[in-house]
Structure 1
Amino acid sequence: MKKGVILLLLLTTWGCFKPVAYLQTKVRYPVEVFYDNQRPDRPFDPLEDLEIKGEVPLTDRQSADRRMVSRGNDMQQKELMLSRLTLQAKKLGADALVAVRYTYYTSATSNGYMMTGLAVRYKKEHEVTTIEK
């Protein structure tokens, strides 16, 4: 009897509860970002190649029991690097950062990383129409 009541209760409440889904918000950067496999749909002039690189010690989580458990940087660290790179581009007067690439290496004691991109300025409408004529 008790199992029947529990089963009936479960069946009647099924669908009433929805799993919690964390909302992911798209990070907004001071310039548009296009990764290595993407291109803006507007013509642009290159300004400068930018690069951020560094090395950080492995965390305890990455090297449990003297074994490499995970490598590289987490998403928050990558977003921080991209934020720094886009700020550099903005200071140059760029409208976008194109061909953004992230690479990393891992040694026995540290993670090394490098993020690169090309700062570009979009061509103005009158520049594009003048060139086309």
Structure 2
Amino acid sequence: MKKLALLFLTIVSVSACFSPVVYLQNKGHYPVDVFYDTQRPDRPFDPLQDLEVKGEVPLTSRQSGNERMLSRGNDAQQKELMLSRLTLQAKKLGADALVSVRYTYYTSMTDNGYVMTGVAVKYKQEHEARQ
């Protein structure tokens, strides 16, 4: 019993040294501001260009088993990568923000397909907004 208690205390104390990895934060650090399709910036803006990132990734072993679908969609790390790619495209256009960001996916027998879209926008200058 003492060995079990000692093992338990050792595991608890060692695991307390590590913090969990979180791939998708509520407020990521992106090169432009990000607003999802239900949000709007509080500043006026001009649209620059519609942007899109799409592709397919194979199902993982966790998503299917015994010829059955166990889970669908992309994981948080994959979504973070998609949003990073979209924001980099917006930054290359000279955008200040990405608005109307929307993520959709589909699942086939072998793959997860995804599409992430948004609109690159440039904030209006203070004097332009008043005119």
TM-score range, shorter chain: 0.7 to 0.9
Count how many residue pairs are aligned between Structure 1 and Structure 2: 114
TM-score in terms of structure 1 length: 0.79
3-state SS of 1:46 partner: strand
CA deviation vs aligned residue, 1:28-50 (integer Å, no higher than 9, x gap): 00000000100000000000000
Distance 1:105 1:23, change over 3 A: closer
Q: 1:114 is matched by which residue type in structure 2?
A: V
3-state SS of 1:77 partner: helix
CA distance in 2, matches of 1:23, 1:78: 15
CA distance in 1, matches of 2:118, 2:78: 17
Identity value in percent: 75
Aligned to 1:122: 123
Deviation at 1:84, TM superposition (A): 0.2
List runs of 5+ in structure 2 lacking aligned partners. 1-15
List runs of 5+ in structure 1 lacking aligned partners. 1-19
Aligned to 2:36: 35
Aligned to 1:81: 82
CA deviation vs aligned residue, 1:83-127 (integer Å, no higher than 9, x gap): 000000000000000000000000111110000000000000111
TM-score in terms of structure 2 length: 0.80
Aligned to 1:47: 48
Deviation at 1:22, TM superposition (A): 4.5
Q: 2:54 is matched by which residue type in structure 1?
A: K
3-state SS of 1:39 partner: coil
CA distance in 2, matches of 1:31, 1:99: 13
3-state SS of 1:52 partner: strand
The 5-angstrom pairing of residues 64-75 of structure 1 reads: 64-75=65-76
The 5-angstrom pairing of residues 86-105 of structure 1 reads: 86-105=87-106
CA distance in 1, matches of 2:78, 2:58: 13
User: What's the Cα RMSD here?
Assistant: 1.9
Deviation at 1:23, TM superposition (A): 8.1
Q: 2:30 is matched by which residue type in structure 1?
A: Y
Answer with 54-63 or 21-30: which moved more: 21-30
